[in-house]
Structure 1
């Protein structure tokens, strides 16, 4: 009874906070609701016996990703009023995509609950006494889903490179470090010796000016 109450309480909080992430007007509030969603999802994972996934949600997503989003939103001067100008124009397309996603989720839920072929494929792998929870997840991840795991890593790498390329700006007049020139230079290119005639230099008065 107590586990059922805790499950429904965490589930309701997770769903409500997830909706508030996309409906909140203040982006800082959206990030805070996102952190709350991660914490409640971690609680659900603990109740399911997946302590390792719960720890990953708290350490990685809450401790790094969500906090990074919060600092980026607070530090960047983003004109959110201008970003919302096209909201009404893209609303029909967004409604169609949301409807398709809802239908897919309903079909998957009905298939799993009814006990079809997909139910056996999505059945959780229970940890054996000889293998811990982390070892069981590692075996499934690096055997059955190793190609999907590698593909997700490639997608994240491409996204990281794209973010660097899009945000990199070269300002004119700013001297940049050229590592190749620094590594390949020698004594002839690093030192320049000039012969100055006596009395042809800058006087003390000109130097003080």
Structure 2
């Protein structure tokens, strides 16, 4: 067994363990952290398969954005674990049945779907028109394909993502009546007369006359 095969088994074992802990962890924050570990191991496996673009995209998009969002949402939500656990054993038979069906389908695909197929060998170098060997890059080839043949779908997807981002910002920054935000421009233009006003109020009770204070005289001893 060479080093590449050893790393593949190592990443695969850690990936399976992290995926198992995602569904068995009692703390939602721990489940999200195990999911981050699973994505990182999947990116490492893709690197071994020479799919550098997919590995980098998985790290940047999921580990850098989606998982951070999930972590913040889980930490901000007030999830009552005891309430969630009450219906666990009630729905366990149905969940176990669905899980077993999914596992059997995946086993059938993996065991019978790839028989008689040779392992694809990635092309590491290509020869140009002049007969010179040029180093091959998956990311470069994929970039050329996206921005030449599939340029129009990429632009449509970019516009949709931009509209979604602007909509999310607009929904977040909408004015609320119960908001206690302060406008800095209004603070700069404030005047003392606008903050304090002196009103003359008539007295409701008569003033009580003060009693004269009697001097205290100390007797001297003879």
Map of 1:133 onto structure 2: 138
Map of 1:86 onto structure 2: 87
Q: 1:126–1:96: structure 2 CA closer, same or farther, 3 Å change rule?
A: farther
- Give the 5 Å matches for 1:133-172: 133-134=138-139, 136-137=141-142, 139=145
Q: 1:112–1:205: structure 2 CA closer, same or farther, 3 Å change rule?
A: same
Where structure 1 has 5 or more consecutive residues not aligned to the other structure, the ranges are: 166-170, 176-202
Per-residue deviation at 1:113?
2.9
Helix, strand or coil at the partner of 2:7: helix
Map of 1:51 onto structure 2: 52
Helix, strand or coil at the partner of 2:104: helix
Where structure 2 has 5 or more consecutive residues not aligned to the other structure, the ranges are: 127-133, 180-196, 202-222
- Give the 5 Å matches for 1:1-209: 1-115=2-116, 129=126, 132-134=137-139, 136-137=141-142, 139=145, 174=178, 205=199
Q: What TM-score, normalized by structure 2, do the two folds share?
A: 0.58
Helix, strand or coil at the partner of 1:78: coil
Per-residue deviation at 1:28?
1.2
Kept in 2, the 8 Å contact 1:22–1:30? The answer is yes
Per-residue deviation at 1:125?
7.9
Q: What TM-score, normalized by structure 1, do the two folds share?
A: 0.62
Structure 1 ranges of 4+ moved more than 4 A: 123-128, 135-140
Q: Which has the larger radius of gyration?
A: 2
Measured against aligned partners, the alpha-carbon deviations of 1:102-158 in whole angstroms (never above 9, x if no partner) come to: 11111111223313xxx69xx798687376313555659x989xx9xx9xxx9xx99
Map of 1:190 onto structure 2: none
- Higher helix content, 1 or 2: 1
Per-residue deviation at 1:51?
0.7
Query: RMSD of the TM alignment (CA)?
Result: 4.3
